[in-house]
Structure 1
Amino acid sequence: MLPEKDPRKTGDKDSREDSSVTLFREYLRIKTVHPEPNYDAAVQFLERIAAELGLGCQKVEVCPSRVITVLTWQGTNPQLRSILLNSHTDVVPVFEEHWHHNPFVAFKDSEGNIYARGAQDMKCVSIQYIEAIRRLKATGKHFSRTVHMSFVPDEEIGGHKGMEMFVKRPEFKALNVGFALDEGLANPTDTFTVFYGEKCPWWIKVKAQGNPGHGSRFIENTAAEKLHRVITSLLAFREREKQRLKSEEHLTLGDVTSLNLTLLEGGVSFNVVPSEMTASFDIRIPPTVDLKAFEEQLTAWCQAAGEGVTYNFCQKYTDQTVTPIDESDPWWKVFSETCREMNMKLKCEIFPAATDSRYIRAAGHPAIGFSPMNRTPVLLHDHNEFLNEQVFLHGIEIYTRLIPALASVPSLPVEA
């Protein structure tokens, strides 16, 4: 990857570029990348936006150096439950040697493709919210429900010092959330993907204990042999789920349990049989699976591998709440009808990974994962992540229709 000049330092600016695109690229250049995200710069950026648009701005420090920023557009009837537009400010690390362009310069090519870490996940959505509200405010419109935009840290590392803590705070409860939008995924077809639930992430570490000895001998009941049996059982299950996904056309990745061996640890020397070895697995379980029965199966696989085989959880999420997507639900009815009015084809799925939506749903609020990026390859966390500026701009237009529709949902029976 060749070094590229930073437009902030050179003063380069395309006078023909839409101002929304310029703002998007500015946000992409803020290095909120793990393991040391520059959250202060992101908060300052959002404070500036709030001042420009005349929005309320609240900063909630959920733990040291982890701040939730909430921009608020007050509704005409603040007693009604609000609309929450959530996005995260952090992005995942990059392997710069695999990128064609500097991932933190927001290079735009001749076709309007903007290359940057966070272009799809999910700084695009943050700016689409902001620019949609900018356009709506410019028309002088007002809506009955209050609209909040929340910008949260640490989603990419589990949200444990971000949204997971925020939903338990009085400041979140004071937002009086009725319905939330959060991130989704790109779709390479004309269809827009909508996510109404998520898998439960389980991260387990299996530990096998066995007889040690010299590397030249056939030691009985070694840790490696026992661990091999567990790995074989889990990967056989993985293959069954993989084949089920392939053979049953109606299934998506969100409908099956994914499982991957991600870490192997153990041993002290080439010529020493170790007394202990471990294997770590990343398991994502859809809401249709009985979690108790699945854990019993994990226990049985470990027991079958031999004495001294145990496992512990490094992460165990068990809330399987999903958001209603039938026409009897007032929020979904308005969301889906507005999309149909824009001739948008929707595909509803369970999210295959995990987002902050799970914490919002667990707190009792319906949430939809939606990133308006069709005709776009799925490149979140990938090398050369990009988003075309026309797709980005179309997303703003979509939100300028969705936000008023949702913010105008009539008073519900629970609000009477």
Structure 2
Amino acid sequence: MRRNAPLARRAAPLACLALLAIAVPARAESSAIERLAAALRLETISPADPADFRGEPFLALHRHLEESFPLVHERLEREIVSEYSLLYTWAGADAAAAPILLTSHLDVVPVPEGTESSWEQPPFAGVVADGYLWGRGTLDDKFGVLATLEAVERLLAAGFAPTRTIHLAFGHDEEIGGEHGAGAITKRLEDQGVRFAWSLDEGMAVISGVFPSLSVPSALIGVAEKGYLTIELTARADGGHSSMPPREGAIGRLARAVGRLEASPMPADMETIAGRTLDALAPHVDGVQGLVLRNRRLLGPVVERALSRKATTDALLRTTTAVTMVRAGVKENILPRSATATVNFRLLPGDTVEEVLEHVRQVVDDPEIEITAGTGNPASEVASTGSEGYADLVAAIGAVYPDAVVAPGLVLGGTDSRHYGRIADDAYRFAPLDLDIADSARIHGVNERIGVENYARCIDFYEALIRESAGP
């Protein structure tokens, strides 16, 4: 492959990938599904309370991976990090070439008590039914671990040798912040002086129905993820008996502050990421909606108002404000001495913690309201869409999803890239899942599942990506 070639000149490699012998015999596809199903049966849960953590399922998963992928474990170096996370190194022929990092995570979220009966198939049984494999981890994110290893095993069997070093990192605690998994892996690589040209994590996918008039699937590559900040607003009062209330008590004063915050959101930013997403999709959107999007710079206020009406699209435009908890009062006839609201902000790239706090002070505009900053992380850096890594992703997506239009996007939640991004020039967030808008409710929800054919495509994607980025 010609390194640094413009995307237009990469048509030949792309075509070769599309025609690659990625067609796998049905028997091999069935074996791959069974290996993933066996992994789903191991309850590698990250509980909210660390005291409830069980390590044995993770060790059992290690053993399952070792037995399932013998060539990987024979030819790649494997390190166990923090007892339960895994780091693999596939040495490349060119030691001077910048390495790349492919990541997923081993852990899953719990199934909330009382929701088990809502599942069409048991969440940890790994059942194949109706063309789907059902279970916790099929979408988030055991499929990524197994699909990556399936692709590497297949490439090793075919005699493929990478030109550059490839690392595979699988953390064990992504669902609770990743400090001991991805965080520890990042620290180990950082101490060794490793710097990646780019990394790939979960985050976005191939999605149908982004716009009602968009006739093709959208392959959205996350080029950034939002930050996180929690603050508390507290109002205080004298308290007393409810038979002699003041004109405004602690709860009333707090309610006024909360109302002001909700009525005055942070300003929208249509250019950093959202505008680029729309510009990539607009040529494929039909009707009046397409006409408006293709002229968004002339019709900017119209587009912004339309997107701001829905929570899902408004979140792409701005740092969001969400009042999530309120604490006040102990008895119905006692005036509370204090009232506190917890407000969660998801920071858009470019907005800082300090700017959000200043926004809160100005909007609340009440010196009697105490404003306390709690936990927070800044938004990530924005990865390049003009890099070699982005072009490799576009090529691999085109090989497996030839009808999809590729666009950069913003990840609203958090991923392990909050750690890995420290040691990568560009951190991308994309999983080769074929989903529709309704499927998003299955992630962390009930009836999580992956199509059998979709999983085969996931394996194909990782093989195509490795060939494109580290092939001769």
Bigger shift: 201-210 or 85-94?
A: 201-210
One of 111, 125, 132 as aligned partner of 1:94: 111
The equivalent residue for 1:273 is 335
TM-score under structure 2 length normalisation: 0.74
Contact map agreement 2:102 2:201 (CA 8 A) in 1: yes
1:216, CA displacement in angstroms? 2.6
- SS of the counterpart of 1:81? coil
One of 324, 348, 359 as aligned partner of 1:297: 359
Deviations, residues 355-379 of structure 1 (Å, cap 9, x unaligned): 1113222344311111111244222
Cα distance, 1:100–1:173 mapped onto 2, change above 3 Å: same
1:307 to 2:334 alignment:
no
Bigger shift: 116-125 or 68-77?
A: 68-77
1:106, CA displacement in angstroms? 1.9
- SS of the counterpart of 2:148? helix
Cα distance, 1:301–1:370 mapped onto 2, change above 3 Å: same
Bigger shift: 353-362 or 138-147?
A: 353-362
Q: How does 1:42-121 map to 2 (within 5 A)?
A: 42-49=61-68, 51-53=70-72, 54=74, 55-61=76-82, 67-95=84-112, 96-110=116-130, 112-121=131-140
> Could you tell me how far apart the structure 2 residues matched to 1:252 and 1:346 are?
21
1:399, CA displacement in angstroms? 1.3
> Could you tell me how far apart the structure 2 residues matched to 1:17 and 1:372 are?
17
TM-score under structure 1 length normalisation: 0.84
1:168, CA displacement in angstroms? 2.8
> Could you tell me how far apart the structure 2 residues matched to 1:60 and 1:312 are?
33
> Could you tell me how far apart the structure 2 residues matched to 1:97 and 1:283 are?
34
Contact map agreement 1:202 1:316 (CA 8 A) in 2: yes
1:154 to 2:173 alignment:
yes
Amino acid at match of 2:104: S
Cα distance, 1:245–1:157 mapped onto 2, change above 3 Å: farther
Contact map agreement 1:213 1:219 (CA 8 A) in 2: no
Contact map agreement 2:229 2:353 (CA 8 A) in 1: no
User: Identity across aligned pairs (percent)?
Assistant: 26
Contact map agreement 1:180 1:366 (CA 8 A) in 2: yes
Cα distance, 1:16–1:52 mapped onto 2, change above 3 Å: closer
Amino acid at match of 1:332: Y
Equivalences, count: 386
> Could you tell me how far apart the structure 1 residues matched to 2:357 and 2:32 are?
48
Q: How does 1:219-298 map to 2 (within 5 A)?
A: 219-237=246-264, 245-246=307-308, 253-289=315-351, 291-298=353-360
- SS of the counterpart of 2:238? coil
Contact map agreement 1:27 1:123 (CA 8 A) in 2: yes
Cα distance, 1:165–1:274 mapped onto 2, change above 3 Å: farther
One of 387, 393, 396 as aligned partner of 1:335: 393
Cα distance, 1:338–1:386 mapped onto 2, change above 3 Å: closer
Contact map agreement 1:58 1:70 (CA 8 A) in 2: yes
1:380 to 2:443 alignment:
yes
Q: How does 1:324-403 map to 2 (within 5 A)?
A: 324-326=384-386, 329-342=387-400, 343=402, 344-376=404-436, 377-378=439-440, 379-403=442-466
> Could you tell me how far apart the structure 2 residues matched to 1:278 and 1:123 are?
39
RMSD over aligned Cα atoms: 2.8
The equivalent residue for 1:138 is 157
Contact map agreement 1:58 1:71 (CA 8 A) in 2: yes
Amino acid at match of 2:338: E
> Could you tell me how far apart the structure 2 residues matched to 1:347 and 1:104 are?
34
Greater helix proportion: 2
Contact map agreement 2:78 2:86 (CA 8 A) in 1: yes
> Could you tell me how far apart the structure 2 residues matched to 1:69 and 1:389 are?
26
1:273, CA displacement in angstroms? 1.4
The equivalent residue for 1:9 is none
The equivalent residue for 1:4 is none
1:405, CA displacement in angstroms? 1.2
> Could you tell me how far apart the structure 1 residues matched to 2:336 and 2:395 are?
61
1:260, CA displacement in angstroms? 1.9
The equivalent residue for 1:200 is 227
The equivalent residue for 1:412 is none
Contact map agreement 2:225 2:379 (CA 8 A) in 1: no
Cα distance, 1:362–1:243 mapped onto 2, change above 3 Å: farther
> Could you tell me how far apart the structure 1 residues matched to 2:416 and 2:191 are?
14
| Structure 2: runs of 5 or more not aligned | 1-25, 48-52, 209-216, 269-303
> Could you tell me how far apart the structure 2 residues matched to 1:107 and 1:358 are?
33
1:279, CA displacement in angstroms? 1.6
Cα distance, 1:271–1:47 mapped onto 2, change above 3 Å: farther
1:105, CA displacement in angstroms? 0.8
1:387, CA displacement in angstroms? 1.0
1:146, CA displacement in angstroms? 1.4
Cα distance, 1:252–1:226 mapped onto 2, change above 3 Å: closer
